[in-house]
A and B are shown apart, each in its own frame.
Chain A
Amino acid sequence: MVLPRGPRAAFPRCPRRCSSPAMAFTFAAFCYMLALLLTAALIFFAIWHIIAFDELKTDYKNPIDQCNTLNPLVLPEYLIHAFFCVMFLCAAEWLTLGLNMPLLAYHIWRYMSRPVMSGPGLYDPTTIMNADILAYCQKEGWCKLAFYLLAFFYYLYGMIYVLVSS
Chain B
Amino acid sequence: MSQPGVPSSGGASTGLQVQNGAASSLGSPYVNGPVQNALMSSQVSVSQGYNSQLPGPYPHLMPAKTSLNPVSAQNNYGGSQTVCTLSNYQGPGQTLNRPPMVSNPVTTSLHSGPVPRMPPPTSQIPAATSMPSGSFLAGVNLPPPLNWQYSSPSTGSQTNHCPHPSSQPSISGNTNVTTNHQHVFSGDPSLQNSCLKSGSVPSLVNPPATTFQPGTPLGPPPVKGPPPVRALAPQKSSHSAVLQPSFNSAINQEGGTSNTSNESMVVHNSYDEIEGGGFLATPQLTNKNPKMGRNVGYSYPSLPPGYQNTPLPGTTGMPPSSLNYPSGPLAFNQTPVGANHLTASVHGLSLHPEGLRVINLLQERSMLPTTPLQPPVPNLHEDIQKLNCNPELFRCTLTSIPQTQALLNKAKLPLGLLLHPFKDLVQLPVVTSSTIVRCRSCRTYINPFVSFLDQRRWKCNLCYRVNDVPEEFMYNPLTRVYGEPHRRPEVQNATIEFMAPSEYMLRPPQPPVYLFVFDVSHNAVETGYLNLVCQSLLDNLDLLPGNTRTKIGFITFDSTIHFYSLQEGLSQPQMLIVSDIEDVFIPMPENLLVNLNESKELVQDLLKTLPQMFTKTLETQSALGPALQAAFKLMSPTGGRISVFQTQLPNLGVGALKPREEPNQRSSAKEIHLTPSTDFYKKLALDCSGQQVAVDLFLLSGQYSDLASLGCISRYSAGSVYYYPSYHHQHNPVQVQKLQKELHRYLTRKIGFEAVMRIRCTKGLSIHTFHGNFFVRSTDLLSLPNVNPDAGYAVQMSVEENLTDTQLVSFQSALLYTSSKGERRIRVHTLCLPVVSTLNEVFLGADVQAISGLLANMAVDRCITASLSDARDALVNAVIDSLSAYRSLVLSNQQPGLMVPFSLRLFPLFVLALLKQKSFQTGTNTRLDERIFAMCQVKNQPLVYFMLTTHPSLYRVDNLSDEGALNINDRTIPQPPILQLSVEKLSRDGAFLMDAGSVMMLWVGKNCGQNFLNHVLGVQNYASIPQTMTDLPELDTAESARTIAFISWLREQRPFFPILYVIRDESPIKANFLQNMVEDRTESALSYYEFLLHIQQQVNK
Contacts and interface: CB of A to CB of B under 8 A. Distances in A.
Contacts of A143: none
Interface stretch (B214-222, B661-669, B764-772): B764-772
B777 A57 contact: no
B675 A116 contact: yes
Contacts of B678: 116, 118
A126 B775 contact: yes
A125 B690 CA distance: 12
B769 A132 contact: yes
Contacts of A117: 679
B798 A118 contact: no
Nearest to B775: A126
Contacts of A130: 768-769, 776
Contact of A118 (B683, B766, B778, B779): B683
Contacts of A132: 768-769
B716 interface: yes
Interface in A90-128: 115-118, 124-126
The size class of the interface chain B forms with chain A is 20 to 34
A130 to B, nearest CB: 5
Contact of A116 (B676, B768, B796): B676
Given A129-B778, A131-B798, A132-B769, 19 more contacts: A59-B779, A64-B686, A64-B690, A116-B677, A116-B679, A118-B683, A124-B679, A124-B682, A125-B775, A129-B770, A129-B776, A129-B779, A130-B768, A130-B776, A131-B767, A131-B769, A131-B779, A131-B796, A132-B768
B1091 interface: no
Given A117-B679, A118-B678, A126-B716, A63 B766 contact: no
Interface of B: 675-680, 682-683, 686, 690, 716, 766-770, 775-781, 796, 798
A162 to B, nearest CB: 45
Given A126-B686, A131-B767, A118 B777 contact: no
B766 A131 contact: yes
Given A116-B676, A131-B798, A63 B777 contact: yes
A115 B856 CA distance: 22
A36 to B, nearest CB: 38
Contacts of B682: 124, 126
A57 B777 CA distance: 11
Nearest to A61: B778
A88 B101 CA distance: 79
Contacts of B778: 56, 59, 62-63, 129
19 contacts: A59-B779, A59-B780, A62-B777, A63-B778, A64-B686, A116-B678, A116-B679, A117-B679, A118-B678, A118-B679, A125-B686, A125-B775, A126-B682, A126-B716, A131-B766, A131-B768, A131-B769, A131-B798, A132-B768
Nearest to A130: B769
Nearest to A125: B686
B768 A63 contact: no
Interface residues of A, number: 17
Interface in A47-103: 56-57, 59, 62-64
Interface of A: 56-57, 59, 62-64, 115-118, 124-126, 129-132
B766 to A, nearest CB: 7
A117 B856 CA distance: 26
B680 A118 contact: yes
B65 to A, nearest CB: 46
A57 B779 contact: yes
Nearest to B798: A131
Nearest 6 pairs of A and B residues by beta carbon: A129-B776, A131-B768, A59-B778, A117-B679, A130-B769, A116-B679
A132 B861 CA distance: 13
A132 to B, nearest CB: 7
Contacts of B775: 125-126
Contacts of A118: 678-680, 683
Contacts of A63: 776-778
Nearest to A59: B778
B768 A126 contact: no
A131 B769 CA distance: 6
Nearest to B689: A64
Nearest to B682: A126
A75 to B, nearest CB: 17
B798 A126 contact: no
Contacts of A131: 766-769, 779, 796, 798
Contacts of A129: 770, 776-779
Contacts of A57: 779
Nearest to A62: B777
Nearest to A64: B686
A62 B686 CA distance: 12
Contacts of B798: 131
A65 to B, nearest CB: 10
A132 B866 CA distance: 15
Contacts of B770: 129
Contacts of B766: 131
B683 to A, nearest CB: 7
B778 to A, nearest CB: 4
A70 to B, nearest CB: 15
Nearest to A126: B716
Contacts of B677: 116
A130 B770 CA distance: 8
Contacts of B716: 126
A79 B803 CA distance: 46
Contacts of B796: 131
A109 to B, nearest CB: 15
B632 to A, nearest CB: 15
Contacts of B679: 115-118, 124
Residue of B675, B679, B766 most packed against chain A (CB within 10 A): B679
Could you say which of A59, A62, A116, A117 has the most chain B C-beta atoms within 10 Å of its C-beta? Answer: A116
A55 to B, nearest CB: 10
A116 B768 CA distance: 23
A125 B686 CA distance: 9
A32 B679 CA distance: 41
A64 B679 CA distance: 14
B716 to A, nearest CB: 6
A62 to B, nearest CB: 6
Nearest to B715: A126
A71 to B, nearest CB: 12
Contacts of B769: 130-132
Contacts of B683: 118
Contacts of A56: 778
A118 B655 CA distance: 11
A64 B778 CA distance: 10
A116 B777 CA distance: 20
Contacts of A126: 682, 686, 716, 775-776
Contacts of A62: 777-778
A18 B586 CA distance: 79
Nearest to A117: B679
